[in-house]
Amino acid sequence: MSAISRDVPIMKEGSLRAPRIGLVKQIRSNLFGSKRDTLLTVVLGVVIAAAVYFAVDWLFVSAAAPWAPAESCAAVAGACWPFVVEKYRLILFGTYPYDEQWRSFLASVLLIAAVAVSMLPSFHNGRLAWLWGAVGIGFYVLMRGGYFGLDYVQPERWNGLPVLLMLAIFGLVFAFPVGVLLALARYQSQLPAIRAFAVLYIELVRGVPMIMVLFLGLFVLPLMMPEGITLSPLLTTMVALVFFHSAYFAESVRGGLQSVPRGQHEAADSQGLGYVQKTRLIILPQALQRSMPAIMNTVLGAYKDTSLVVIIGIHDIMATAKMAFSDPSWQHYGLEAYLLVGIWYLATCWCLSSYSRWLEARTS
């Protein structure tokens, strides 16, 4: 708390160099500079030491090693790593046919690779649309099968990682252009009816929880279809996600649109550019660049929130983790399964936020 009680060493007369303080002294004055600092140090020190002690004990010291036999788990108080070794395929791919799980794996790798390629700034142009079209078809063919001698796998058995990636990534890929259109519709004043619709839509969607929108997709969307058309829950969930995320994208992009200087509009108008040309060539590129931090924030939040599809019965990795420890002989090891899921999210979210920081540093 010594943001304020920083003790500034006095400069020696005649010296132009700031006096040096030793590391030990610096640490001592930081941690034990005042009574309040000392108290804080002691309290936090005890909390941190206890947390580290219990974590290390549970994770390593009193845990069953991954290579140990499964029976050894019953004897230990800590984590049971043989469980993770035994069940990792179930957690990653769920009930997808065991012998075909290489397809699930390949489909996941395809999506991750496509995301990695899309992150390269040199790809931020029209080529992305082609890339994602191809990736979508490739993913569908791999997962569903029925072509090229691949066995057909019904969508109910698509589980785990590929489902999470599919819903998160395709949901965002489709929601983004819709969000940009909504933002443009809200930002202009020439077409008040369209603008009113955009405002109503954005505010309505942002006023209700994501779960509600997912339930709308589950319960109401199928009712809107004519007789004879049945939608798979995966498809309705995807549609609901696109509806939901687009409203949030719209708000992030609107911030960027508002920050484009008036002069840019006027200059484009005086060049004789039409609305489409002006928006595509002058306004949007600047607006998108300015709203990049907000967009990446939305992406991160949306990716994490994709896990909520578990609640409406879609089996992403959180649900397959639950499957893994629903097995009666492994039922005490749920925390290990959730830890695995947590590490996945920590790693992927960290990549996303590092990318967003890098992008920001690059453009500024």
Partner 1 sequence: MPRRFPKSAVVWQGGFILLLVFALVLAVRNIDANLARAGISVSFDFLSSHAGFDINESLIPVSSESSYGEVLLAGAINTVVLSLICILGATFIGVVMGVLRASNHYLGVRLALVYIEVMRNLPKLLILLALFLAVINALPPVRQSWALHDMIFLSNRALYFPALEAGSGMRLLIVLACLWPVSIFVLGKVARRIQDASGTVYPVFWPVTGVLVAVVAASVLFGWADYPVSYPMLQGFDFQGGHRISIQFLVLAAALSIYHGGQVAELVRGAIEAVPNGQFEASRATGLSFLQMMRLVVLPQAVRIVVPPMGNQYLNITKNTSIALAVGYSDLVSVMTTSINQTFRPIELMTLSMGVYLVICLAVSFAVNAYNARVSSRGG
- What are the residues binding partner 1 (CB under 8 A)? 1-6, 27, 30-31, 36-37, 40-41, 44-45, 47-48, 190-194, 197, 204, 207-212, 215-216, 219-220, 222-227, 300, 304-305, 307-308, 310-311, 318, 322, 332, 334-335, 338-339, 341-342, 345-346, 349-350, 353
Shortest distance, position 149 Cβ to partner 1, whole Å? 38
> Three-class SS string for the chain?
CCCCCCCCCCCCCCCCCCCCCCHHHHHHHHHHCCHHHHHHHHHHHHHHHHHHHHHHHHHHHCCECCCCCHHHHHHCCCCEHHHHHHHHHHHHHCCCCHHHHHHHHHHHHHHHHHHHHHHCHHHCCCHHHHHHHHHHHHHHHHHHCCCCCCCCCCHHHCCCHHHHHHHHHHHHHHHHHHHHHHHHHHHCCCCHHHHHHHHHHHHHHHHCCHHHHHHHHHHHHHHHCCCCCCCCHHHHHHHHHHHHHHHHHHHHHHHHHHHCCHHHHHHHHHCCCCHHHHHHHHHHHHHHHHCHHHHHHHHHHHHHHHHHHHHHCCCCHHHHHHHHHHCHHHCCCHHHHHHHHHHHHHHHHHHHHHHHHHHHHHHC
Smallest gap from residue 196 Cβ to partner 1 (A): 10
Cβ nearer to partner 1, comparing 107 with 319: 319
Q: Which of residues 122 and 190 has its CB atom nearest to partner 1 in the complex? A: 190
User: Least distance (Å) from partner 1 to the CB of residue 312?
Assistant: 9
Q: Which is nearer to partner 1, 15 or 190 (CB)?
A: 190
Q: Nearer Cβ to partner 1, position 143 or 268?
A: 268
Residue 94: CB minimum distance to partner 1, A: 17
* Shortest Cβ 206–partner 1 spacing (Å): 8
In angstroms, what is the minimal distance from the CB of 242 to partner 1?
16
Question: In terms of CB distance, is 134 or 346 closer to partner 1?
Answer: 346
Nearest to partner 1 of 105, 345 (CB atom): 345
